Structure 1
Amino acid sequence: MTPGLIVSAPRSGAGKTTVMLGLLRCLTEDGIAVQPYKCGPDYIDPAFHRAACGRDSFNLDSWAMPAGLLGRQLARGGDMALAEGSMGLFDGVARPGATGTGASADIARLTGWPVVLVLDVSGQAQTAAALALGMARFRPDVQIAGVILNRVASPRHERLCRLGMEAAGLRVFGALPRRGDLTIAERHLGLVQAVEHPDLEAAVAQYAAFLRAHVDLAALRAAAAGGQAPAPGPAPRPPGQRIALAQDAAFSFIYPHLLDAWRAQGAEILPFSPLADAPPPAADICWLPGGYPELHAGRIAAAGRFLAGLRGFAGRVHGECGGYMVLGAALIDAEGQRHEMAGLLGLVSSYEKRRMHLGYRLAELPGGTRQRGHEFHYSTILAQPDAPLARVTDADGAEVAETGSRRGAVSGTFFHLIAEAA
């Protein structure tokens, strides 16, 4: 298997993304074909990965993905793999799913890739070594290659942190001084999308220069390793042979591995832009992915050609999360303004009073099909009068109210598909 490393941390906000993007650009500049990955369910980080290295980034999810799908993901080639973790290294759900709990540590176990811990050492020194040592010993099947110290306040602070790591027997790959300008803008679902970043190329170049000045890149490359990847399994089935796919700043949340698998099985993807008021092209199915329709609700409501084309579409229509909201009767934005949507389903959703919905989902559809995925949005449901699309449970097996809806050939759900379940 391609040798690799996992960039992880004890918690969110430690600086993983800055380190990941900087490393991707540095390795690419050095002539290394580096294949990026993202652990867990995430749409936004992989787009930044692609901007940093020019290669599509794929998700690795132990709760949602069976071993065969993980094997397909890991067979992407490259000279070296680099995977960005999610949350803290060992953070997952209580009950295992397809191949694990969704923790980044599961991917380290499955791949044999060593972990590089990004440690925010703000407000501590030698104590950071105790935390890192505890993580190194927590699971014997997960190898910690070493650490990158982040947000170091001074040369003295760095020296004390390094003394602690030396006493703990942990390698330090580098120390990043504290800088307030190396951040990426965020909104309620995480980072602003890569396509919306005002000057992403300049930002990634800054991260790379920062990493090159303070991290031993040769040592990191030498630390990369890998075990035996799971055998590749069947590809996820396409929902039709011609798929009209909404793709723009309001509809961007669809996993690259799904598009890749659909194309590999002969499906034709026909992208169109609702924000450009384009109607869906003729196809077997019109697929509206999630995204940020709440930020563009006025434009969508005024997109007459798009809405008319959607209402007159001859095939099946399906929407995920934001796409589901657009298929509904109305979307109420954060200011309380109502925007009329397609009206193909009766759903009325609102962002006026935000409530976070987050977690893995297992959906059982009519006919017995089971799918694994996740839900992440801040909207509330004011009306959902149509027949439920599926029985949906969370990672603990508890039923959730967001069942999705169906009406004739139209369906929608807050659930984002990752993989079919056995």
Structure 2
Amino acid sequence: MNAPRGLIVGAPRSGAGKTSVTIGLMRALVRRGVAVAGVKSGPDYIDPGFHAAATGRPGVNLDSWAMPPALVARLLADAAAGADLVVAESAMGLFDGIPGTPGRSGSAADLARRFGLPVLLVLDVSGQSQTAAAVARGFMAYDRAVTIGGAVLNRLGSERHRALAGAAIAALGLPVVGGVLRDPTLSLPERHLGLVQAGEHPDLAAHVERLADVMEDALDLDAVLALARPLAGLDAAPDAAAAALPPPGQRIALASDAAFSFVYPHVARHWRRSGAELVAFSPLADEPPPDDCDACWLPGGYPELHAGRLAGAARFRAGLRRFAETRPVHGECGGFMVLGESLEDADGTTHAMAGLLGHRTSFARRRMNLGYRAATLSADGVLGPRGATVRGHEFHYARVLDAGDDAPLAELADGQGRPLGPSGGRRGRVSGTFFHAIARG
């Protein structure tokens, strides 16, 4: 291969098995000597870690709603540099997004149209046979600007099942490039915010290699490679630094452990390219933010699963309070929960948190909050100047029991511009919100 080529692995819905197919396909192609770059569409901070484990290259998110078009193109060009093949994994269903500006729905189909990426359609055919062809035909006809290049039959029950479903789809003129037999052990472990993260998988390397073994047997890898097309529109990918989130400091103390891990790869990469140094520390190991840093960032993660340990981490909590006296501290989602007065865990036990903001949160009294968000900042801070708009999303199950009396960080709107009211809190040099920032609007 010469110029980078690419394809999208898509499906009709979440849970169709596309992540396992994607990871196994990536690794199987790497074994062949193909330089593969992994991309995840939409706001997903977990799957890029699995892509990196499979390809040996950093993963990245591309989000057509949250990122301005220039930033999407720049990040894809960066991912493709030095790669033979870009494999992009769709979030949810291929066409799932929000109504609004054409090309900025947040769906993987936006990427397919803009960059000329054909789709490898993963069809979960459990409980059906020839009916799978009707689903495939719907995908082929739904949007003529999106090319469905081939299909993979997933969760087959038998060779007869493969023959029935495969023949019906092939009769449409859609190549069937493989079939994967039903095997529950191929699935990755999950919890309430999605997959267990790559770094927490008990034997990730062995699982990735097993997925590659399965896909080598199940897929026609030559046919998959033949589906890929040259990436369109990257010849002059613009400088998109103005759309990226600015680093909050020159040396950034970044909480990093099982409780704090939701950092978008493109955000950390831009901070480093801007000259900032990211210094990791572990609140779960009772480490305070290093004193030689000039900003502290507490990312999202799973503090609700470790609330007792965080409450008992006296050095961390005292050090964080000292740090906040003279330097900015910002918390996103889980980090925001830890900045508050208390956190109620799933068992209903209340644990004291840092107390740098006045809110109290609960994981016992759950309510899912999910969706794109546009935040208009209420004051100057680490996310930008007052009045600036930052795009991102919320995804959490925690509930605010008491909002406290801190000034709000931002005014939120949903992905379609409907006002949601004030969000987050700020007090002195401390700020936080459930909102995950992705890019400047």
Does residue 1:296 correspond to 2:306, yes or no? yes
Matches within 5 A, 1:340-351: 340-351=352-363
SS of the residue 1:269 aligns to: strand
Per-residue Cα deviation, 1:253-290 (whole angstroms, up to 9, x for no partner) = 01010111111111111111111111101322100000
Corresponding position of 1:115: 119
Corresponding position of 1:255: 264
What is the alpha-carbon distance in structure 2 between the residues aligned to residue 17 and residue 232 of structure 1?
30
Q: Which moved more, 1:34-43 or 1:398-407?
A: 398-407
Matches within 5 A, 1:12-411: 12-75=14-77, 76=79, 77=81, 78-96=83-101, 99-225=103-229, 226-229=231-234, 231-235=237-241, 236=244, 237-281=246-290, 282-313=292-323, 314-366=326-378, 367-385=386-404, 386-401=406-421, 403-411=423-431
1:402, CA displacement in angstroms? 6.1
Aligned residue identity for 1:15: G
Aligned residue identity for 1:307: R
Aligned residue identity for 1:413: T
Aligned residue identity for 2:390: Q
1:232, CA displacement in angstroms? 2.8
Does residue 1:413 correspond to 2:425, yes or no? no
What is the alpha-carbon distance in structure 1 between the residues aligned to residue 65 and residue 417 of structure 2?
13
SS of the residue 1:387 aligns to: coil
1:377, CA displacement in angstroms? 0.2
Q: How many residues align?
A: 420
What is the alpha-carbon distance in structure 1 between the residues aligned to residue 56 and residue 318 of structure 2?
37
Q: Which moved more, 1:216-225 or 1:321-330?
A: 216-225
What is the alpha-carbon distance in structure 2 between the residues aligned to residue 373 and residue 240 of structure 1?
21
- Paired residues of 2:410 and 2:422 also in contact (CA < 8 A): no
What is the alpha-carbon distance in structure 2 between the residues aligned to residue 145 and residue 238 of structure 1?
40
Q: Which moved more, 1:338-347 or 1:149-158?
A: 149-158
TM superposition score normalised by structure 1: 0.97
Aligned residue identity for 1:74: L
Aligned residue identity for 1:114: P
SS of the residue 2:37 aligns to: strand
Calculate the aligned-residue CA RMSD, in Å. 1.2
What is the alpha-carbon distance in structure 2 between the residues aligned to residue 245 and residue 409 of structure 1?
16
SS of the residue 2:184 aligns to: coil
Unaligned runs of 5+ in 1: none
SS of the residue 1:243 aligns to: strand
Unaligned runs of 5+ in 2: 379-385
Per-residue Cα deviation, 1:363-397 (whole angstroms, up to 9, x for no partner) = 00032111000000000001112111100111122
Aligned residue identity for 1:299: R
Aligned residue identity for 1:84: E
What is the alpha-carbon distance in structure 2 between the residues aligned to residue 246 and residue 404 of structure 1?
19
Corresponding position of 2:383: none
Percent of residue pairs identical: 57
What is the alpha-carbon distance in structure 2 between the residues aligned to residue 401 and residue 302 of structure 1?
34
What is the alpha-carbon distance in structure 2 between the residues aligned to residue 9 and residue 196 of structure 1?
26
Query: Segments of 4+ in structure 1 off by > 4 A?
Result: none
